[in-house]
Amino acid sequence: MRARDYAGPEDLRLVQRLASECWRLEGPLVYMTVGDVAWQMYQHVDKLNEFRIRLWLDEDGEPLAWGWLWLPNTLVQLTHPSERERLVEAVLDWFEEEAAPGEGEDWTSVRALEADRATVAAVERRGFVCAPDGALNHTQRPLSMPIPAPELPDGYQVRTVAGDEDVERRVEVHRAAFAPSRVVPESYRRLMQEPAYRSDLDFVIEAPDGSFAAFCLCWLDAENLVGEFEPVGTHPEHQRLGLGRAVCLAGLRGLRAAGADTAVVFSNPGSAGERLYAALGFETISRHLEFRKLMR
């Protein structure tokens, strides 16, 4: 096994390849999908200024593990299940050497899936403690379940992003839904160049005035037949019209048409998103946990 730092876009394929392999072996109980990786890398301009990535490879150059250090103090990681205990220790060694407290903070943080007992145990052995406010729901929905057709108010229509002509409106609705947001046309155009991005799975609802009112970006791991929603949102001026439900139904139907048999989405406990996804048939099967440790 050899380790090295991230060297460029070709290494993103290695990061995604390991995510896909873990889904093949352990899905749906895997921390990230190929879509998560793409979205985290390209949603903002110069994202590489915000984190460091380290890869662990076998003698043939195949990925065994990676650590994603969100500067200065938070780790997201993924390890191949074949040698997880050894790999997790290697990733955590690197992280604890490189991490530093954030401004006004005296702790470091590691994210892990609750169902990944080997990783959770390794993190806890090092003195990290689960933070009660740092969880996300890890939910799934079989696409064999019925998927109703979207119902829309008069004048609204659901469709997919047509291309560059839609970028400005697509960014505008995202920024409104997630204000304040650093997503800009430049970063979204770069995202659209990512091989995992498919415009036919980038669903929007167009309002009567031609603006976009809601969106659901879907990502497909074709090898594992799993699709993910990331992200989903509704413009504040168009909320309480059922548009979030409608655009997610369009996403589910689109993923099924593209060959997926399972959909996943991650949500904040107690949020409107959690209630929406539950109503759509998503079931929570694990949680994404945050573990913190004081720096010495």
- Amino acid type, 23: W
Domain 142-287 belongs to what architecture?
A: 3-Layer(aba) Sandwich (3.40)
pLDDT tens-digit map of 123-153: 999 999 999 888 999 999 999 999 999 999 9
Q: Report DSSP state, residue 284.
A: E
Q: Report DSSP state, residue 101.
A: P
pLDDT mean across residues, the chain: 96
* The CATH number, out of the four listed (3.40.50.800, 3.40.630.30, 1.20.120.530, 3.30.360.10), of the domain defined by the range 2-136+288-294: 3.40.630.30
Q: What is the pTM of this model?
A: 0.96
Q: What is the 3-state secondary structure (H, E, C) of 101-162?
A: CCCCCCEEEEEEECCCHHHHHHHHHCCCEECCCCCEEEEEEECCCCCCCCCCCCCCEEEECC
Task: Give the Å distances, CA to CA, from 197 to 4, 18, 69, 117.
Answer: 27, 18, 24, 32
Burial grade of 26 (CB within 10 A; 0-12, 13-18, 19 or more)? middle
pLDDT for 174 beyond 70: yes
Task: From 141, 88, 140, 139, select the one nearest 288 (Cα to Cα).
Answer: 139
Question: Which pLDDT value is given to residue 296?
Answer: 64
The whole-angstrom distance between residue 117's C-alpha and the CA centroid of its chain comes to 21
Residues in the chain, total:
296
Band of the pLDDT at 233, cuts 50, 70, 90? very high
Task: Supply 20's token pair.
Answer: 């896909």
pLDDT tens-digit map of 23-42: 999 999 999 999 999 999 99
The boundaries of every CATH 3.40.630.30 domain in the chain are: 2-136+288-294, 142-287
Q: What is the mean pLDDT of residues 246-258?
A: 98
pLDDT tens-digit map of 95-130: 999 998 777 788 999 999 999 999 999 999 999 999
